[in-house]
């Protein structure tokens, strides 16, 4: 089900008929994507889910030109990712934070690492300084600017990765399972900042295995064996439980609970995805005793 809101604006990213296969040692190419069409509108928050091996990370890397499609095209703000002239511009527009907090920082000092991206763009010194300041502030790392990245906690390291990407002023932020290696505190830190960035107008593509996180997006795209199997709002996607389970996925725990309650209490709404929604739904229907 294609998402129609925002179609009036020029799409930020357009993926057309993309196939991708990894060249393999034995000579047989391993297909990872088999015909994907997708558009991402400015400011849209999309969750990309799918079982391991479905092609999520591959798709992400195609969006900023780290990989080039075997066939099909990808445009970022009208720029073809296959055109080497646009490489820098595309990487400036599409920022990416990866899964492992240990493998994304380059420098031995926090503020110098944040500057790495803008330095690559050849920006003048005052602009560099300004961007580093801003990125440190947004991610709450200003007080840690002279520290060594190696001594930061997991959550802080991912915030540093975010800062480094934000300093390039992207219009789309791709998070490739960026919170999966963090402890609960670290996850909260990162998710809070991402939500803030979305409210400020940044488009977000979040690849995640945690259905509770996916439930917070505006749109959920399900990838299965290299193709898009479902594409709709979280309510639309997560109520199609049968389909999801056949794809090897699960629904957010609250959606399970809602179904269970719905079977016993007839008027209970079938579409409850987050704990906050559950609390609201129960309070509304519980009647007496509620403050």
Partner 1 sequence: MSEFGAWHILTLGHYLPMGSPLHRLDPRVRLLSVLVLGGALMVRGQLAVLFLGLLLVLLLLALARVPLGHALRGVRALVPLLGVVLLLQLLFYPHRRALVAGSPALWQAGRFVVSAAGVVALVALCLRMVALVLLLTLLTSIADATDLVHAVEGLLRPLQGIGFPAHELALVFVIALRFLPLLAREMERLMKAQAARGADFGHGRGYIVQRVRRTFPLLVPLFVLALRRAEELAVAMEARGYAGGKGRSYLVRLRMRHADWLALAAAVALAVLLLWLDLGSLEQALFRSLG
Partner 2 sequence: MKPLIEVHSLHYTYLRGTPLETVALRGVDLVVYPGEVVGLVGPTGSGKSTLLQHLNGLLRPQAGRVVVDGMDLGDSRTDLRAVRRKVGLLFQSPEDQLFERYVADDVAYGPLQYGLPPEEVRARVRRAMLAVGLPPEAYADRPTFALSGGERRRVALAGVLALDPQVLVLDEPLAGLDPAGRRLLASLLEEWCAQEGRAIVWASHSMDEVARSADRMYLLAEGRVIREGTPREIFGDAELLLEHGLDVPAVTWVLRELARAGLPVRTDVLTLEEACDVLEGVLR
Whether the Cβ atoms of residue 222 and residue 247 lie closer than 8 Å to each other:
yes
Residue 27 interacts with partner 2 (CB under 8 A)?
A: no
Tokens 């196939």 belong to residue: 19
C-alpha dihedral (95, 101, 104, 108), degrees to nearest 10: 130
Return the residue of 18, 59, 96, 255 that touches partner 1, per CB under 8 A: 96
SS3 labels along 53-72: CCCHHHHHHHHCCCCCCCEE
Site for partner 2 in 170-229 (CB under 8 A): 180-181, 183-186, 209, 212
Question: Does 55 sit near partner 1 (CB under 8 A)?
Answer: no
**CA–CA gap between residue 173 and residue 268 (Å, rounded):** 36
98 binds, among partner 1, partner 2, none (CB under 5 to 8 A by kind): partner 1
Stretch that binds partner 2, among 2-10, 108-116, 193-201, 282-290 (CB under 8 A): 282-290
Taking the CA atoms of residue 103, residue 104, residue 105 and residue 111 in that order, the dihedral angle to the nearest 10 degrees is -150
Strand-strand pairing, 30-40 and 172-176: unpaired
Residue closer to partner 1, measured from CB, 32 or 255: 32
- Distance CA(247)–CA(6), nearest Å, equals 28
Q: By the criterion CB under 8 A, which residues form the site for partner 2?
A: 51-52, 153-154, 180-181, 183-186, 209, 212, 248, 250, 253-254, 256-257, 260-261, 264-265, 268, 275, 278-279, 282-283, 285-286, 289-291
Q: By the criterion CB under 8 A, which residues form the site for partner 1?
A: 61, 64, 66, 87-88, 91-92, 95-96, 98, 100, 102-109, 111-112, 115-125, 128-129, 132, 148-150, 161, 164-165, 168
């Amino acid at each position: 089900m294609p998402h129609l809101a925002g179609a009036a604006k020029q799409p930020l990213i357009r993926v057309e008929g993309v196939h991708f296969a990894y060249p393999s040692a034995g000579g047989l190419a391993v297909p990872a994507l088999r015909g994907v069409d997708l558009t991402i509108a400015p400011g849209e928050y999309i969750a990309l889910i799918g079982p391991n091996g479905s092609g999520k990370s591959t798709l992400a890397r195609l969006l900023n030109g780290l990989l080039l499609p075997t066939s099909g095209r990808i445009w970022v703000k009208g720029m073809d990712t296959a055109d080497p002239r646009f490489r820098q511009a595309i990487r400036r527009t599409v920022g990416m934070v990866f899964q492992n907090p240990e493998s994304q920082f380059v420098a031995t000092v926090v503020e110098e690492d944040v500057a790495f991206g803008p330095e690559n763009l050849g920006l003048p010194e005052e602009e560099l300084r300004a961007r580093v300041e801003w990125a440190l502030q947004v991610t709450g790392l200003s007080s840690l600017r002279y520290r060594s990245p190696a001594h930061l906690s997991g959550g802080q390291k991912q915030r540093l990765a975010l800062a480094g990407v934000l300093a390039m002023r992207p219009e789309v932020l791709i998070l490739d399972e960026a919170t999966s290696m963090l402890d609960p505190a670290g996850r909260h830190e990162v998710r809070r900042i991402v939500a803030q960035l979305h409210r400020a107008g940044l488009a977000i593509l979040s690849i995640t295995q945690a259905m509770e996180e996916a439930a917070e997006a505006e749109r959920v795209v399900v990838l299965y064996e290299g193709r898009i199997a479902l594409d709709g709002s979280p309510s639309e996607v997560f109520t199609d439980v049968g389909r999801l389970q056949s794809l090897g996925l699960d629904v957010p725990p609250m959606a399970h609970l809602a179904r269970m309650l719905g079977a016993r209490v007839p008027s209970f709404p079938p579409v409850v995805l987050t704990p906050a929604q559950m609390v609201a739904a129960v309070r509304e229907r519980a009647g007496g005793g509620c403050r």
